[in-house]
Amino acid sequence: MNITIRNWEKEDIPDLIQHANNRHIWNNLADGFPSPYTELDAREFIERVQNDSPRKILAIHFEGQTIGSIGIFPESDIHRKNAAIAYWIAEPFWGKGIATQAVRLMLEYGFKTFDITRIYAKPFGFNKASHRVLEKTGFQKEAVIHNGVFKNDQYFDEYIYSIQKKPY
């Protein structure tokens, strides 16, 4: 399977609008992710992430198109050796192992690029597919925060998964 993660480019705008403008994607993400997802949202997003150095948010590319996004977000202060990971995959590509491969690639990139020793994720309790992706890539479940998030006028559990940097 030919999956790559790479820098976002202006040429990705049509794919980004097509795939990000999906309520099923939005339901699994923080409310800061726009819905509906417009051309203006796509342009502003790409312009913003292109200014990061090193890049923190990368495009997921598969079979000639951009089908998702993955990001690594280093912490600061006493949490400076930690980073969060977040990702989404276009709905037509769910269940094909793409997210698993993208997370593996981002783990390699994140540990190599940033001075961190732990990467964590916080999927919603109902997002079992994301739990499986994290488990398949070596993350361990650390905790469940009951009713820890509020989305769509409902409380949901939040899971915390993490992986430690392997000594080289």
pLDDT at 34 (0 to 100): 96
**pLDDT at residue 167, rounded to an integer:** 66
Provide the residue count of the chain. Answer: 168
Displacement of CA 50 from its chain's centroid (Å):
17
Instruction: Using 50 as the pLDDT threshold, list the residues of the chain that sit under it.
Output: none
**Integer angstrom CA distances of residue 17 from 10, 11, 54, 80, 87:** 12, 11, 24, 33, 16
Domains of the chain: 3-119 (3.40.630.30)
Q: What does the pLDDT read at residue 153?
A: 97
**Pairing status of strand 118-121 against strand 154-164:** antiparallel
Q: What is the DSSP code string of 20-43?
A: HS-HHHHTTS-TTS-SS--HHHHH
| pLDDT value for 23 | 96
The predicted structure's pLDDT at residue 13:
97
Q: What is the pLDDT of residue 121?
A: 98
Q: What is the pTM of this model?
A: 0.95
* Per-residue pLDDT, 166: 76
**Angstrom distances, CA of residue 117 to CA of 20, 74, 114, 163:** 31, 10, 9, 8
Using CA atoms, how far apart are residues 109 and 87, in angstroms rounded to an integer?
A: 14
